[in-house]
Amino acid sequence: MTEISCKAAMVSFPRLFLGLILGALLSPPALPQRTQDAGKNRDQMNWRVLRPVVRGTRAAVAAGAPLSSEAAMRILHTGGNAVDAGVGGLYAAAVCEFSHFGFGGEAPILIRTAEGQVHSIGGLGTAPRKMTLEFFRSHRQEPEIVQESLRRGHNGGPIPAYGILPALVPGMVDGGLLALRDFGTRSFGEIIQPAIDLADGMPVDGFRSSSIAHAVRIFKLFPTSQRVYLPNGRVPRVGSIFRQPDLARTLRSMMAAEKEALAKGATREAAIDAVRDFFYRGEIGRKIGRFSKDNGGLLRYEDLANFRLEVEEPEMVTYRGFDVYKNGFYTQGPILLQALNLLEGFNLRSMGWNTAEYIHIIVEALKLAYADRDTYYADPEFSEIPAVLLTKTYAAQRRELIEPTQASSEFRPGRFGARQPPHPAFYAGRLRPLTDALASRDTTCLNIIDNSGVMFSVTPSGAWMPSVIAADTGIPLTQRAQSFLMIPDHPNVVAPGKRPRITLSPTLITRRGQPVMALSTPGGDQQDQALVQVMLAVLEFGLNPQAAVEAPRIQTRHLVASFDDHAMDPNLLLLDERIPPSVEAALKQLGHQVERRSRWNSGSAPVAVLKTPNGVISAGADPYGYRYADAW
């Protein structure tokens, strides 16, 4: 592993900043040339980059784990495009990254085609018909579930954080199949093979072994999970072979459904639809629905049978000539777009990267964007989203609220009409501090760009550890319903058939119609905080993807948590330990409540892929979150 000290390379700072950070000059022709103020950035660059950027000319992958990246590369090597590899890598990750998500979870996807169109696929399931506000108001939670939440540092809300009750319809499977059908080139059988191979047997790493060990107590409530994760009643040891035979059988049955359709003369697309029908309207859907009913859950076969995703238009804003794309307002993704609209009115380059002035302006912009998220974002099928949120005019009005010399501790959403939805953190009548549990342990990420310009970005999550396995399918069920609110007048209130407003937030960036970046991260509420910092590090300051994802980051807790008790911690700002003390002191003078965090404990773990007009595709992956990148 290469390790380069920025401090040791301070002889010529401009050359350091533009390239010697990693010992690899970025100089992307697609990005404007930058002039840097060495004095403002000298202290900020006093940190070491652990990994070299990876580069190729055919494709690059940045993923949550080596086995996920290898699965995607395996499909690229056999001629698949970025979507084929992305869906195959997504399904493989659902097998090998079971600590973070599974086949019963969620996966919002963004795709750019070779022709230049950008598409969104929600990849998010809906609430069962029996999931109502009245049910959770009258339901008494199981003491064991409450204890498990507290043991893991979560203040549980009225909707449980664990168990079978927060299960939605699985959305990830249909999202992947829809992406493969409409934008891929390979069959389901071809792209699912790496996942089957992993389910047949894979080496256990320390992260997965530890996640099982921490879930042993709650598995006693769910024998199906105990059978899968505790073979022979024991936690799998690091380096041992972990097998998931039930899941392997389920995946092979899905592959058989495609083969049967093809044998009957179905087209490639129709055969993939046959897989969708087999999962949601066939044997698998019936098993999941029956298991949920028999074990006190709310999910039923009819909920799965009536579920079907469609391709959607993404949300988009232009930032200094770059088109930035996110999924819709049922995700938190548009807050990045709102923040960029606000930041476009400031000369960030003149402030200097990660100076106190720079951090202050970014944090204050994020506070305003999060306030709108926490007040107005919800499933657009159920709630009307203010049409002006992503406009430059609205951003200009909101920008006036940012005080350059004073941090705000107020919750300040925009106002539209006489009535404003209630503050979510007040559902229990008081504010409570957020826990320090890190959401990066419960989500993963996968980004790919190939040499034809096809781009794929996904943020998979849900059905994380500890999960409930549905019968003998090997499929863990999601816990995502906890992201609903229990406030009747709020747009994100729980309701049958509705999607909760989720934190998952993939990102694509193009310029003049050409691919530039694909990036995503785990991290719950701070995903888009991390992503905007990675994006600005590349687009404004010329860092390559590896330097950008390793660089010190900040996070504001001035937001309403999307999980558990939906609490808020006003004006709290967390700084990476590598940010200089002088910057911390200056931020405190501006009124920020500052705390420090280790680089290993940042709560996010981004990955990014960058394509430049000369055909080079570069990728970076956060080593402090054990992410992994590869290129060809």
Please report where in the chains the tokens 């990955």 appear, as a residue. 607
Q: Which amino acid is at 269?
A: E
CB atoms within 10 A of CB 397: 12
**pLDDT tens digit sequence for 76-89:** 999 999 999 999 99
Q: Which amino acid is at 51?
A: R
Q: Which H/E stretch holds residue 272?
A: helix 268-281
pLDDT at residue 510, rounded to an integer: 98
Number of residues written out for the chain: 632
The whole-chain average pLDDT of the chain stands at 89
Domain boundary assignment for the chain: 4-38, 65-106+122-309+462-483, 315-407+505-631
Phi, psi of 324 (to 5 degrees): -115, 125
> Smallest Cα–Cα separation from 607: which of 517, 524, 542?
517
pLDDT at residue 420, rounded to an integer: 75
Is the pLDDT assigned to residue 267 strictly greater than 70? yes
User: Taking the model in full, what pTM does it have?
Assistant: 0.92
pLDDT at residue 158, rounded to an integer: 80
Confidence of residue 131 (pLDDT cuts 50, 70, 90): very high
pLDDT at residue 514, rounded to an integer: 97
> Smallest Cα–Cα separation from 86: which of 172, 208, 211?
172
In sequence order, the 6+-apart residues with CB closer than 8 A to the CB of 455 are 82, 110, 111, 112, 448, 449, 508, 515, 518
| Maximum pairwise Cα distance, the chain | 72
Q: Which residue has the higher pLDDT, 147 or 297?
A: 297
**Segment 135-154 mean pLDDT:** 73
Tokens of 187: 């069959």
Q: Which residue has the higher pLDDT, 14 or 212?
A: 212
CB 159 within 8 A of CB 482: yes
pLDDT at residue 154, rounded to an integer: 59
Lowest mean pLDDT: which of 219-223, 345-349, 365-369? 219-223
Provide the pairing of β-strand 628-631 with 59-63. Answer: antiparallel
What is the rounded distance in angstroms from the CA atom of residue 9 to the CA atom of residue 579? Answer: 18
What is the rounded distance in angstroms from the CA atom of residue 295 to the CA atom of residue 298? Answer: 9
Is the pLDDT assigned to residue 32 strictly greater than 60? no
Instruction: Report the SS3 class of residue 305.
Output: helix
Confidence of residue 569 (pLDDT cuts 50, 70, 90): confident
Is the pLDDT assigned to residue 245 strictly greater than 90? yes
In sequence order, the 6+-apart residues with CB closer than 8 A to the CB of 418 are none
Confidence of residue 8 (pLDDT cuts 50, 70, 90): very low
What is the rounded distance in angstroms from the CA atom of residue 497 to the CA atom of residue 373? Answer: 21
Instruction: Report the SS3 class of residue 252.
Output: helix
What is the rounded distance in angstroms from the CA atom of residue 541 to the CA atom of residue 377? Answer: 31
What is the rounded distance in angstroms from the CA atom of residue 474 to the CA atom of residue 199? Answer: 10
Confidence of residue 426 (pLDDT cuts 50, 70, 90): low
Q: What percent of the chain has pLDDT over 70?
A: 88
CB atoms within 10 A of CB 170: 32
> Smallest Cα–Cα separation from 476: which of 256, 291, 324?
291
CB atoms within 10 A of CB 512: 11
In sequence order, the 6+-apart residues with CB closer than 8 A to the CB of 420 are 375, 413
Tokens of 164: 């079978």
Q: Which H/E stretch holds residue 282?
A: none
**Segment 231-241 mean pLDDT:** 95
Provide the pairing of β-strand 54-56 with 59-63. Answer: unpaired
Phi, psi of 515 (to 5 degrees): -65, 140
What is the rounded distance in angstroms from the CA atom of residue 508 to the CA atom of residue 556? Answer: 23
pLDDT at residue 149, rounded to an integer: 66
Q: Which H/E stretch holds residue 132?
A: none
Across the beta sheet with 514-520, what order do the strands follow? 54-56, 617-621, 607-611, 514-520, 507-511, 322-326, 315-319
Is the pLDDT assigned to residue 438 strictly greater than 70? no
**pLDDT tens digit sequence for 572-626:** 999 999 999 999 999 999 999 999 999 998 889 999 999 999 999 999 999 999 9
Tokens of 535: 């994006």
What is the rounded distance in angstroms from the CA atom of residue 70 to the CA atom of residue 251? Answer: 19
Across the beta sheet with 311-312, what order do the strands follow? 311-312, 118-121, 109-112, 455-458, 446-450, 59-63, 628-631
Q: Which residue has the higher pLDDT, 152 or 601?
A: 601
What is the rounded distance in angstroms from the CA atom of residue 487 to the CA atom of residue 493? Answer: 6
Tokens of 521: 């991260």
**Segment 540-559 mean pLDDT:** 95
pLDDT at residue 45, rounded to an integer: 63
pLDDT at residue 229, rounded to an integer: 96
Tokens of 142: 């199981």
Class of domain 315-407+505-631: alpha beta
Lowest mean pLDDT: which of 93-97, 214-218, 583-587? 214-218
Confidence of residue 4 (pLDDT cuts 50, 70, 90): very low
**pLDDT tens digit sequence for 493-524:** 999 999 999 999 999 999 999 999 999 999 98
Residue 58: strand pairing partners: none
**pLDDT tens digit sequence for 455-496:** 999 999 999 899 999 999 999 999 999 999 988 889 999 999
pLDDT at residue 40, rounded to an integer: 56
> Smallest Cα–Cα separation from 251: which of 47, 464, 479, 94?
94
Lowest mean pLDDT: which of 82-86, 155-159, 250-254, 609-613? 155-159
Is the pLDDT assigned to residue 51 strictly greater than 70? yes
Is the pLDDT assigned to residue 151 strictly greater than 90? no
To 10 degrees, what angle do helices 82-96 and 172-183 make?
A: 160
Q: What percent of the chain has pLDDT over 90?
A: 78
